[in-house]
Structure formats: structure tokens, C-alpha cells
Structure 1
Amino acid sequence: MNSANSAAVVVGVDGSEPALRAVRLAATEAARRQRPLRVVHGFIWPLLHVQTSPAPYTPPGGGLRHQAEDLIQAAVNEAEATAPGLSISGEIIDGEAAAVLVGESPTAALIVLGDRGLGGFSALVVGSVAVQVAAYADCPVLVVRGAQRPDEPVLVAVDGSEASRLAADFAAETAVSRGVPLVAVHAYRHPGSSDPGDMQPLVYDEAKLHGEQERTLAGWLTGLTEDHRELRLTCRAVRGRPGAVLAEASRTAQLVVVGGQGRGEVTGLLLGSVSQSVLHHAQCPVVVVRAPR
């Protein structure tokens, strides 16, 4: 994440209703973090060699480029109405939407986008642009989906990995800025083995296992409240598949924060299976935080 004070919150727009919801949340988040807001639109038509200027003998306000200018202005107007006084800029950038947003990420504090945009396939729960940006961006990515519950806590998935540590730091900062508690959730399924090749026990004490998992979770979060002194932190160890546990917990959260890839996931995956599951099934907005490449 770019830590410079000038780093903007970037929101991708395409004229769709999900994009406008993303603009409103991005403006609110930029105001909380005292960051400027940058509204961008990936203008793909020049890459496809499509004429973007008005055709001959048509009104001067026509053409694809003018339509893009209109949707940028509409998004800027929406942001200004949401957060008056916020520093806001808008730009049309030639390129495919996901590539444009990933290109913005090295100098952004946060990228915000809707879960689905114009032209998305109806069968997709989360659009391909959202998944691609979450997988490749060099800064945290906020995908706006589900219900808005501003009074509920922020939820973060923790598994002891470097990615989840970064996610916990981001979630703690977000919870403090929003004035709500942070709930750290660790999902577990069965006792772990102590050495490679060890057999997992067939019989074990569930209460003892649960206590061990809670202590492990607390150990992973050592120092978090010291770094964020106003943080109200609750730790929860829950038995179950991580994706399902987090999706259920998201019903009473305002935001779910996950690492881009956690323990036990295939190294070659740019976006871990748990992150993808949460993106598709969470009942509230999701932030994906990836470790630096």
C-alpha cells in the first residue's frame, strides 16, 4: 500500500449502478482517510479501433468519447454530493477496465469498484474485472457488494500468514477510522499435525481444540492493539471451512477484510481460494489485501 499522504483512493466507473454505489463508498472512505479521490474510466474502444468521435452530420455532443466524459462527470458529481469539500479528480484512460485499475494501483492508497459492471454476464456473482483487479493490484482492493451496515463491526480473516497479518493491520486501521469494533475470525477444521507426515488424531477433545485455536489466534494478533490503541478487538475461533465461516459472519458485518492468499493455498494462485470464495459469497463489501510481490 502506498503510504504517501498524496496517495489517492481510486474508484473505477462504467456508468452502472454498482459503480455509482462504489463511488459513494469510495468518497466516504477517502474523506475518512483524508485522501483525495480519483475517478477513472477504462476506455476500451480505441483498442478495438472503434470510432469514438461524433459521426459526420451528428450533434456535437454525440460519440463514445463524449459519453465517457458524461459518465465521469456524473460520478464526480455523485462523489461531491456524498463528501462535500473532498478533493476529487476524474480521468478517462484508454485501455481495458481491469488493466487500467491495476495500472493505477502502485500509486493508490485503495482501489474501489463495484462487484458487477455494464456488460457483465448475469450468471457471474462477481464480475471478472473485480476478480482480476483483486488478484493483481498492488494496493488493497475494496469490492462493493451486499448490504451497507455502518453500525456493524469490521471483520478480518486471520490464519497466521503474512497476507492475513497485512489484512489485520488494514482492518484495524479501518475499524478505528469508522469508530466500530474489529472482529478477528480464525476458521479451523481439525487438529493440525506437529511434523510433516504425522497422522491427525482420530479422537480429540473438541473443547480443548477450540481453546487451543483461540489462543493461537490471540498469539497471531499480538501487538495489534498496541499499534492501534483505540481498537476494540474481539477474537473468534470458529470450526468450519474458512469461506463458509466468513460468508456467514459477514451477515452481521459492515466490511470483510481478507488476505490475498493464506496458509495452505497453492503458491501459484494470485488470488487464494478463500479470498475468491469471500468475494463471491460475502453479504457485505469485501477488501482484499495482497502481500507485496
Structure 2
Amino acid sequence: MFNRILVGLDGSPTSWSAVHYAFEFGKGLDVPVVGIHVIDERFLEEGFLEDIAGVLGFNYYAGISGKLKEFFEEQASVLLDEFLALGRSKGVKVSSYQSTGKPYHVILAQADPEDLIMLGKKSHKPVSGFLLGSTTEVVARRSPCPVFVAVEQKKDIKKICVAYNGSEPSKRALHMGKLIGKLFDGEVYAVHVGEGDLSAEVGEGVRYVRLSGIPEEKLVEYSKDMDLMLLGAFSKGRIMELFLGSVTTFVMHHTNIPLLLVK
């Protein structure tokens, strides 16, 4: 199903949730799990640090970015060591990669179409109130491979919900949902929000559910009792780069279960 699993590490609760999901997938599929930690270069810019010093009321001095980078590198070392030790204790093939840059640039540069990226839903920011953009959302938009978005509460994957409307992306999502269902011995539900009966398309071993209403709202509502949702996502071209599409964007922001975006 996947050649590698790349998991973003930032020390946040949702990041560790993604790590545990990554270990489960990695062990079940017998593929390596690579932990990626990126020191955000934007936090090391002297101009940014001078501005933030004024806001938070601490003394700024030239060269503070070097000291801050040393601190971040020490944190990264501890985080990656913990990740590697945990993975090995679970019998998973693990390795790590640490770099400095824009987190989404680094993660995307490491990903191949045959990989799976796993990230936490909410990024961990060392300075509250300064929003530098969501790494998870940018990666989800631009990734060449499927992206798994984890929430803080880790759940066993036993009920799998696939958003299905008969399109090619939804067919790919359903196919992957069936494979994950076999991997975790779970039930797969193909949820169709719209007109017509698509039950003949979903095949055997899948529970077909048809709902009426606004697709994104119905999917979020129905998924409350699920353990994982899969959505077919695809590029809409450069002019639509900032958007995943209304359904995917809404679901990403409102669902409280893990979401797997299938490209």
C-alpha cells in the first residue's frame, strides 16, 4: 500500500498521536517509519525576534537567533531519540531526519507519491499568538501522496468511514479504505450524500450508507461514531492552490476523528 510512512514531529499531543498511528501502520504493513523534525527558520529571523521581544517584553540582542537555534537543536535531539526508542520498542523499522527550514517545504521535499505522510491536526507553536500558517494544511494541499491528519485522542481503527460519490478520487479512497479495513480487521462504511443509489458500486464487504443534505455537514455528523474517515482529494490547479475544495476544507476543520486524504 505504501513504501514509507513519514511522520511530522513537533512535540505536540496531536503529533505524538500521529506517531502512534504511524507505528501501527508501519508494523502492520512492514514498512519503515521516518520521523521528521523541522526547526522553523522563521522563528530564527532577527527581524521576527526583535518584533516579538517588544511584544513579550524581553531584551533583544544581536545574535540571539544563534542561541535560540542551539536550544531548538537540543530539543530536536531529545524528541527524535524518544521517537526512535519508542519505535524500536514496538518492533517498527524507524529512522529520523532533522533539518531547518519551512516545515512544509522540508516534509514535501522528502515525500514520494508512494509514501504516506502523517501529521497532527494542530501544529505546536512555541510562541502563542503568532500564527505562521498551518503546516498540516499546506502539506495536505500540496502533497504528492496521501496525508493522514491525526487528532489528539488516539483510537483503535475499527470503524472506517469513506466519503463516496462515485468519482475517481472517491473510488481510490474506497479502495484504500478496504485495504485499511483488512489491515485492522475493521468495518468499512461508504457514505454517500446525494441522490441516486450507488450501493452496487461499493462492492462486497462494505456497508453502504446514503444520506441527504449538505455533504460536508452530513459527513462530519456521521463520522462522530467512526474511528477514521477517508476523503478523495485532488489538485484543482495553480489558481486554486489555496483551497482543497469546500467539502474537504470543512471536514478538516470540523471533524474530531483522524482524516486520511487520498490523492
Shorter-chain TM-score range: 0.7 to 0.9
Which secondary structure does the structure 1 equivalent of 2:144 belong to? Answer: coil
The equivalent of 1:105 in structure 2 is 111
Q: TM-score, normalised by structure 2?
A: 0.80
1:162-181 to 2 correspondences below 5 Å: 162-181=168-187
What is the total number of aligned residue pairs between the two structures?
241
Aligned pair in 2 of structure 1 residues 161, 95: CA closer, same or farther (>3 Å)? same
Amino-acid identity (%): 25
Specify the alignment match of 1:130 in structure 2.
136
Supply the RMSD in Å over aligned alpha carbons.
Answer: 3.1
CA contact (8 A) 1:159 1:262 kept: no
Shift of 1:139: 0.9
Distance 2:153 2:126 in 1: 20
Structure-to-structure mapping, 1:184-223, within 5 angstroms: 184-188=190-194, 213-214=196-197, 217-221=198-202
Q: Match for residue 11 of structure 1? A: 7
How far the C-alpha of 1:261 sits from its partner, in A, is 4.6
Deviation at 1:121, TM superposition (A): 9.2
CA offset digits 1:207-232 (Å, max 9, x no partner): xxxxxx22xx22433xx54xxxxxx3
2:20 maps to: 24
Q: How does 1:1-293 map to 2 (within 5 A)?
A: 7-45=3-41, 48=44, 63-81=71-89, 84-106=90-112, 108-119=114-125, 128-145=134-151, 147-150=153-156, 152-188=158-194, 213-214=196-197, 217-221=198-202, 224-225=203-204, 232-261=205-234, 268=240, 271-290=244-263
Amino acid at match of 2:7: V
- For structure 1, the 5+ residue unaligned runs are 56-61, 192-212, 226-231
Aligned 8 A contact 1:10 1:110 in 2: yes
Tell whether the 8 Å contact from 1:152 to 1:252 is kept in structure 2 after alignment: no
- Deviations 1:179-213 (Å, cap 9, x if unpaired)? 0110000112xx6xxxxxxxxxxxxxxxxxxxxx2
How far is the alpha carbon of 1:25 from its aligned partner? Answer: 1.1
Residue segments in structure 2 that go unaligned for 5+ positions in a row = 47-62
- Distance in 1 of aligned mates of 2:227 and 2:213: 22
Query: Structure 1, residues 31-90: CA drift from partner, whole Å, max 9, x if none?
Result: 1111111000122338946779975xxxxxx53322222222122233334xx2211001
- Whole-Å separation in 2 of the counterparts to 1:120 and 1:132: 19
Checking the alignment, whether the CA contact within 8 Å between 2:192 and 2:210 is kept in structure 1 is yes
Q: Secondary structure at the match of 1:138?
A: coil
